[in-house]
Amino acid sequence: MKTALLIFSAIFALTSTSWAQQDQPATAFPFVMPDEKPDRPLSEAVARNYDGYDFIRPEQNELYSQFKYTKLAGFDYHGGDGTVTRRDPSKVIFANGKYYVWYTHRNTGFKSVGMSRAAEATDKIPSADWDLSDIYYATSKDGFSWQEQGVAVPRPPKPQPGWRSVTTTDILVWKGKYYLYYQAFMEASGTRGDFCPVAVSYADSPDGPWTSANQVVIPNGAEGEWDQFSIHDPYPLVHDGKIYIYYKSDFDQRPELKPSKIRMQGLAIADNPLGPFKKHPLNPVINSGHETTLFPFKKGVAAIVQRDGMEHNTIQYAEDWVNFKIASITELLPVAAGPFVPDAFTDTNDGRGITWGISHFINAAGDWKRNHTVLVRFDCDLSQDIHDDGMKEHYMKYGPEHHYKYGLSGKQRERIANENKKRLENVSGK
Ligand code: AAL
């Protein structure tokens, strides 16, 4: 027995030593980073640089960009008193020699009371910032200065879908006609939650008049399914001769966890703009995000995934339009972005990408008592057709004041003070 043990130990020692030696490369990693994955043992992280990304530097990564923001001219927010909001812009299209954008517009003369006080909402007093809203649109010659044209899709009469509020719209151009998909609220947001399905209106011109299909086109899921309550942020693109609508749902809210909602993105596909839309069996297809922005890129589709989830603050890519992987990590991503996507509806196999669009800033005055959202322009370089070094830097130099603005809360200071007190007591042996 003892001999056997000695033999086993010797074999193990020899094999493990040679294994360790095999694992140790003969030379150090080179100063000049190999363009192709080198044939040598690599750490997981450096191997991921080759296997997980198409580029080894952010500057070269076509799906990496910083984002630059510009205040828009042409929109009146009533002095920021909270009675007027514009938010959740659609993609931007170019038609009739100008740019068009559609968005949620609220102006009932009252401030919103907040989702938690939905019971106090009336047919004039909004609960959430997007309650009692209509779909408006604006046009522009340059994407910076906009002219509001007025209402595109008004709230319909009860009991039509959206009678309480029509919000968070997006545009589809299909066979020469125009379609606006939007969240169709039938209760004040916050009554049970932010619950709604998606409805659609259509027109022969981007200037309307718009006709409501007067039907839900993307229904809530069945009881117990991930998207049983909310179908948010409908986002149509054309791929493979069909209409692909990506959408968000909020689910698995647990009172013991905070913030507790999980937010993910689903996909529904149809041959006809008015449906029926078939939800993808692999839904949810993106594991993070909130008002997720997408655009055709090369053969696949790219997604700006911001705000929520384990992979927030990433730009992702799915060559098959379903299975997404992280293409880059970035910062100050546009919120609820509606980019100008020239090939959104051309069923392209060589998506060119994006360079600008409209997004929004919630609580624009920094005062929840007069909460309102404003539209803003963003610019970036997520395009095969430009290379803007100024958008490929990877270190936003936030000043000290920006960091101090997000300083410690009173509760955190109290925790630290208690830790210090305990440490001092231990020293003095109290
Ligand atoms: C937005 C979107 C949807 C939600 C609310 C208004 O950011 O996710 O539209 O319902 O918030």
**Does ligand 1 lie within 6 Å of residue 290's CB atom?**
yes
Q: What distance in Å separates the CA atoms of residue 140 and residue 101, rounded to the nearest whole number?
A: 9
Q: What are the residues facing 185 on neighbouring strands?
A: 165
For the CA of 167, the nearest atom of ligand 1: 9
Q: Ligand 1 center to residue 352 CA distance, Å?
A: 28
Q: What are the residues facing 60 on neighbouring strands?
A: none
Q: Between 3.40.50.1000, 3.40.50.1820, 1.20.1340.10, 2.115.10.20, what CATH number should domain 69-404 receive?
A: 2.115.10.20
Q: What distance in Å separates the CA atoms of residue 147 and residue 62, rounded to the nearest whole number?
A: 33
- The pLDDT score that the predictor gives to residue 429 is 76
- The pLDDT score that the predictor gives to residue 17 is 45
- The pLDDT score that the predictor gives to residue 18 is 47
Q: What distance in Å separates the CA atoms of residue 317 and residue 358, rounded to the nearest whole number?
A: 21
Q: Ligand 1 center to residue 21 CA distance, Å?
A: 56
- The pLDDT score that the predictor gives to residue 6 is 60
**Does ligand 1 lie within 6 Å of residue 131's CB atom?**
no
CA neighbor of 377 nearest in space, from 142, 212, 173, 124: 142
- The pLDDT score that the predictor gives to residue 70 is 98
| DSSP-derived 3-state class of residue 319 | coil
Residue written as token pair 């942020």: 233
Report the 10 Å Cβ neighbour count for 335: 20
- The pLDDT score that the predictor gives to residue 26 is 87
Give the global pTM. 0.92
The CA–CA distances, whole Å, from 41 to 14, 18, 25, 38 equal: 20, 14, 6, 8
By most ligand atoms within 8 Å of CB, the mutation choice from 85, 86, 87, 88 for ligand 1 is: 88
**Does ligand 1 lie within 6 Å of residue 168's CB atom?**
yes
What does the block give as tokens for 259? 């913030």
What does the block give as tokens for 305? 């995934």
Q: Provide the residue type at 109 as one letter.
A: G
CA neighbor of 233 nearest in space, from 320, 294, 280, 190: 294
- The pLDDT score that the predictor gives to residue 13 is 53
Residue 259 has phi, psi (to 5 degrees) of -70, 140
CA neighbor of 298 nearest in space, from 239, 243, 338, 357: 239
Q: What is the pLDDT of residues 114-135, one digit of tens each?
A: 999 999 999 999 999 999 999 9
Question: What are the CB-based long-range contacts (under 8 Å, 24+) for 303-309?
Answer: 303/246, 303/265, 304/333, 304/334, 304/337, 305/333, 306/333, 306/334, 306/335, 307/263, 307/333, 307/335, 308/261, 308/262, 308/263, 309/262, 309/263, 309/264
- The pLDDT score that the predictor gives to residue 74 is 97
Q: Whose CA is nearest to atom 9 of ligand 1?
A: 168
Q: What is the pLDDT of residues 148-194, one digit of tens each?
A: 999 999 999 999 999 999 999 999 999 999 999 999 999 999 999 99
> Nearest-5° angle of CA 422, CA 427, CA 428?
100
Q: What is the pLDDT of residues 222-256, one digit of tens each?
A: 999 999 999 999 999 999 999 999 999 999 988 88
Q: Ligand 1 center to residue 104 CA distance, Å?
A: 10
Q: Whose CA is nearest to atom 4 of ligand 1?
A: 232
Q: What distance in Å separates the CA atoms of residue 375 and residue 387, rounded to the nearest whole number?
A: 26
**Does ligand 1 lie within 6 Å of residue 72's CB atom?**
no
CB 322 within 8 A of CB 302: no
Q: What are the residues facing 326 on neighbouring strands?
A: 316
DSSP code, position 406: T
CA torsion 239→240→242→243, rounded to 10°?
A: -10
Task: State which residues of the chain have pLDDT below 70.
Answer: 1-22, 259, 430
